[in-house]
Structure 1
Amino acid sequence: MSQQNALQDRLDREAIRHCVLRSIRGLDRADAGLLASALQDPALVPLDADGDAVVSRQRFVTNDRIELDGATATSEAYLLTITVPAGEQPVVALSGDRVVDRLDRRAGEWRISAREVSRVWEASGDGAFTAPYLAVMRNRGTRDRDDATYDHPAVAPATSFDPAALADRDAIRDALLRYMRGTDRLDEEILAATSADLQFLMGPNVIPAEAFWAGSHGLAAARAVTQHLIANHHIEQDGDVAYVESYLLGAVMLNEGEQHAFMPRPDGAPAGELTLSGIRYADRLERREDGWKLVSRELLGESFTTIDGLRTAHAPATAQRPTRDQQDPSYREALAPATTRDPVGAALDREAIHDAALRLVTGIDIGDVALAQGACWHDIAGVLAHAGSDQGSVAKVHHVFNHLVEIGDGVARSEACVLIATALAAGAELVGGIARPGEVLLHSSRVLYDFERRGDEWRIAGWTTLPEWSGVAPAPLSAATAS
């Protein structure tokens, strides 16, 4: 494939991803016009029928893989969905789906012409503290066009992109991912390098970055687990300004006896309580002389769930342990910047690297040995044999978040957060107990990948896994499970 054709392929993929995200944002915000803008036939995907019975629904889009064939394409992705029902029922529904979209390009614009959704796993969480959480964190978040993410100067809708816009969108996503890396490593040097005069908006309060970091980092440093999983970067660019909505799933393991602002209890948190917070970010970024910088972030609360963090996954004895400082294994010697690739080549490399990582986990999930092995230069037969011998699971999905890529000459590295959802067989052995019928194990790790380019092909040359947290979510309640 010539570089010009490869570039058009990459531009088409960017337009397809943006189209799929528009459809998901339209569903979650109950925005019929936005949803229709992603569909060839507006009747193809209706708004949620249970909209009045739902306080919040967040569909996190992960693992987006695209196959192009001229003016048609197939997009396959995973959805991790969190649904908060209306009423007094203190249960939050969790689910994982595989969504396959068929798209057609007509008059230069990609839209969805067919969608198939299949449920892979479902569970629930204790939402008893969701109401007080939303009372503080909901701010200006709504399930309509009054939502805070619409509150910015109008930007002409984009349905296709040129190379300059593609480079900007890649740089904007990189800035947001590097900022989240700094957040989880408590690294204010990274945070300062990816932001400029940053202010946080929480309801009527405007908080300077330094004050926000001091408060949040003090809490995080005292806890066993904090991790931020980010996805769904919906970017609206207007020259040197960009408005971005992102979805965040925040995981925190509270210390035994800890008092939480949203969870007033006489004895504080019980041992092993893991909280999962659903948040949306309404961000403003600006292009400065040294790149795109985050200048404003509004936090919009969506859900607050607790699950059992006492029963956990078995971690390999040889696994390295993460730290929340610069001693973490992710702080490897920096790669020398690539000198043999122009911006177009770099954009193509980024796509190939992203696709290799997704081919590996997809192959593991569906038992496709050729797909997984074809993503790697080294023999992974042992890894595949171990995955295939897991008798404790009914279904398993690797949701890939926060994939941050660094490219050198012929080599590359990336860091990703991988949340594995395993629908457990009753009686499956866990650390701290056994599985009950219908339970789902959520296990999150960071994976440090190494890639090599041989000829024109990028593949994985090795990886290191850093376990972060795990917990067990109860079986779903039919009254709370999203349809």
Structure 2
Amino acid sequence: MSQEPIQNTDAAISSILDRFAIEDLLTSYARAIDRLDIELLKSLYHEDARTEHAWFEGTARDFADKVIAFSRDTFASTMHHVTHTHIALNGDAAAAESYYYAYHLLEGDIDKVAGFFGKSYAERCAEDGTINDGHEFISGGRYVDSLTKREGVWRFANRETTVEWKHFRPATHGDPGSGIEKIVAPAGRDRNDVAYRAFAAIGR
């Protein structure tokens, strides 16, 4: 069956703008988590929004406080990727299903490694000499969101996060002086990061 032509140009443009706004929320979430930007994270949710995120269930504002503190205390760096999204619109309400995968780097002594990954993993790493090399935790799943537009602004009203696979391993490193070791361009986990400087330069 061929697709029916769009009869209402204004409605089509409005739909495109709504989708852009929702996609901006999804990518801004990744930025907020990775840069530990609690103000940005809270701004993505309505004040009465709720979220269910693997180890947390409650208000989105409480989640923001807890996840930023946890990430700061636990991981040396993180990088969240939103890969593809299905969005359905119905007036000022929307639903979105977004696939993601997330990278986390944990650094610390045997107690910290055992506290997150478990005692047996930490003991194996201590035995093979990788306990102090850093440890990578990678996971994938979906963000399933209910969103509403209030006073012309889209925000999350409810978010449920699935975790559908997990993998962890000691981090790998090149030899001192090797080409791979010379590739170093660290990110900032705050508003001193290069992205904030770039946007500040244009007043955004």
CA-to-partner distance for each residue in 1:215-267, whole Å, 9 max, x for gaps?
A: 22223213212111112111111111111111121111122322467732157
Find out whether 1:314 has 2:180 as its counterpart. Answer: yes
Q: Deviations over 1:316-350 (max 9, x none)?
A: 56x5421110111111225358xxxxxxxxxxxxx
Structure with greater Cα Rg? 1
Confirm or deny: 8 A CA contact 1:275 1:304 kept in the other structure.
Answer: yes
User: What corresponds to 2:79 in structure 1?
Assistant: 227
Residue 108 of structure 1 is matched in structure 2 by: 3
Choose between structure 1 and 2 for higher RCO, CA contacts under 8 A separated by at least 6 residues: 2
Gaps of 5+ in 1: 1-105, 110-160, 338-483
Other structure's SS at 2:64 match? helix
The CA distance in 1 between the partners of 2:24 and 2:136, in whole Å, is 29
State the shift of 1:296 in Å. 1.1
> Contact (CA 8 Å) 1:176, 1:294: kept in 2 or not?
no
Aligned residue for 2:8?
none
Aligned pair partner of 1:302 in 155, 164, 178: 164
Deviation at 1:310, TM superposition (A): 2.0
Instruction: Judge conservation of contact 2:79–2:103 (CA < 8 Å) in 1.
Output: yes
The residue aligned with 2:102 is 250
Over 3 Å counting, the alpha-carbon distance change for 1:255 and 1:316 in structure 2 is closer
The Cα offsets for residues 187-230 of structure 1, whole Å up to 9 and x where unpaired, read as 11211222212311247963222332232222321321211111
2:43 to 168, 188, 193: 193
SS at match of 1:321: coil
Contact preservation (8 Å) 1:244, 1:282? yes
Change (3 A) 1:260 1:201: farther
Instruction: Output the CA distance in 2 between the equivalents of 1:306 and 1:273.
Output: 7
Distance 1:322 1:241, change over 3 A: same
SS in 2 for 1:285: strand
Which residue of 283, 291, 302 maps to 2:153? 291
Cα distance in 2 for residues equivalent to 1:200 and 1:175 = 15
Aligned residue among 64, 70, 86 for 1:213: 64
Query: Which residue does the alignment assign to 2:92?
Result: 240
* More helix, by proportion: 2
The amino acid across from 2:69 in the alignment is G
* Counterpart residue type for residue 264 of structure 1: G
Partner deviation per Cα, 1:5-36 (whole Å, 9 max, x = no partner): xxxxxxxxxxxxxxxxxxxxxxxxxxxxxxxx
1:324 and 2:189 equivalent?
Answer: yes
Is residue 264 from structure 1 mapped to residue 114 from structure 2 by the alignment? Answer: no
Paired letter, 2:90: D
Equivalent residue of 2:148, what SS? strand
Give the distance between the partners of 1:189 and 1:204, measured in 2 at CA: 22
TM-score by length of 2: 0.75
| Residues paired across the two proteins, number | 180
Three-state SS of the structure 2 residue aligned to 1:162 is helix
| Aligned equivalents of 1:296, 1:178: Cα separation in 2 | 16
Aligned-partner Cα distance in 2 for 1:296–1:232: 19
SS at 2:191 equivalent: coil
Whole-Å separation in 2 of the counterparts to 1:331 and 1:285: 26
Q: Cα 1:279–1:164, aligned 2, differ >3 Å: closer, same or farther?
A: same
Matched residues in 2 for 1:211 and 1:186: separation?
15
1:72 matched to which residue of 2?
none
Give, as a single letter, the amino acid of the residue that structure 2 aligns with 1:300: T
> Partners of 1:171 and 1:202 in 2: how far apart?
23
1:337-378 Cα deviation digits (max 9, x unpaired): 8xxxxxxxxxxxxxxxxxxxxxxxxxxxxxxxxxxxxxxxxx
Distance 1:183 1:335 in 2: 23
The 2-side partners of 1:291 and 1:220 are apart by 28
More strand by share: 1
- Percent of aligned positions that are identical: 27
Kindly tell me: are residues 324 and 290 of structure 1, through their superposed partners in 2, closer, same or farther at Cα, counting changes over 3 Å? farther
RMSD: 2.8
Q: After TM superposition, give the deviation of residue 307 of structure 1 in Å.
A: 3.7
